[in-house]
Structure 1
């Protein structure tokens, strides 16, 4: 099984879209490839090729649906409460239709729809920050999961933690941007949800037809 994590930016911002592909080896994820810049077509071609040979679980860091009328989905309301208990700021969980989020939401919905046509592809929505904070104990460095986007020291700490958690085949210097770290964290969330040997820390079921994809962190 392949596990893919995608840190998605807006449709015109390919340079901040990162993809991490791993082989699920049971108790470890082994790095297959990292993409530091990716268009929709790059992602679609990559996952189409992977899914021709085996099952692929894809975790996308972007809202994959929105609430009719705008504002929070029920998902945001419950996830925000969960992450506040982990010490995360409530503003880290944003409504999909917020001005700064709407383009990412639109791209996420389009990409998920394209990928969902493949029989061997399972798409889930993820939140990398919540994925990390939920797995790192408070007294063992959880604060780094709150600061890695703006602190190089915390970014290095998180990269090292990922290797102790079970990510293999990579080095700290490979994760040169927070987007690549987020892509790897998105893969951890997808691994927890999709692998028969793992379990998510916190998940939310799909609710078709308006909210067709599950969430996991």
Structure 2
């Protein structure tokens, strides 16, 4: 199984988009590669190429649906409550139709549907993931501050890269620490792995409600 984590940015902001690829071997995910500053076409090409090798599981950090009428989806409200219970800040969960979120939501919806239309050899599955919540829900309580500061602080990102090894994400290069989008892409892969692999389970999940909300949402 190949596991891909994508930290998506808006469609005009390729430089903050990062994709990571891991390969499941025995009971761990081994780092394969990462790509940054990438377009939709580059993302689709990479997913297609990975799908010629094995089953692909994709965790995307972006809204993959929106609430008809605007505002929070039910899953957004539930996840916000969950992360607050962990000691995290509620502001990282924003309504998909909020002005600063709409272009990211547009890209997430468009890209997920284009992935579904790829002509692949092995199956692909997609889950919406919140990387900060993936990290915060698995850290010990005494380390929760790391989940609150890693976007700004290099030492917190260094801590998380080492901690990923404890979570059985191995061979992650030190360069991942340089900025938070790469950490988020790895965390998206971790969340997607625990969602898909029957030996694990998400720390929180809101099940898909098709047709308007066609993907599970988890951390």
Question: Which TM-score band applies after superposition, normalised by the shorter structure?
Answer: over 0.9
The reply to whether residue 174 of structure 1 matches residue 176 of structure 2 is yes
How many residues align? The count is 216
3-state SS, counterpart of residue 160 of structure 2: helix
For the Cα contact (< 8 Å) 2:112–2:126, is it kept in 1? yes
The reply to whether residue 135 of structure 1 matches residue 138 of structure 2 is yes
For the Cα contact (< 8 Å) 1:26–1:197, is it kept in 2? no
Larger mean CA deviation between 116-125 and 56-65 belongs to: 116-125
Shift of 1:175: 3.2
Residue 204 of structure 1 corresponds to 206
CA-based RMSD: 1.1
For the Cα contact (< 8 Å) 2:22–2:30, is it kept in 1? yes
**TM-score relative to the length of structure 2:** 0.95
Residue 3 of structure 1 corresponds to 3
Q: Of 196, 214, 217, which aligns to 1:215?
A: 217
Gaps of 5+ in 1: none
Q: What is the correspondence of 1:104-115 to structure 2 with a 5 Å cutoff?
A: 104-115=104-115
Residue 23 of structure 2 corresponds to 23
3-state SS, counterpart of residue 162 of structure 1: helix
Which aligned runs of 4 or more in structure 1 are off by greater than 4 angstroms?
Answer: none
Q: What is the correspondence of 1:137-176 to structure 2 with a 5 Å cutoff?
A: 137-139=140-142, 141-176=143-178
For the Cα contact (< 8 Å) 1:22–1:30, is it kept in 2? yes
In structure 2, how many angstroms separate the alpha carbons of the residues matched to 1:173 and 1:58? 22
**TM-score relative to the length of structure 1:** 0.96
In structure 1, how many angstroms separate the alpha carbons of the residues matched to 2:27 and 2:37? 29
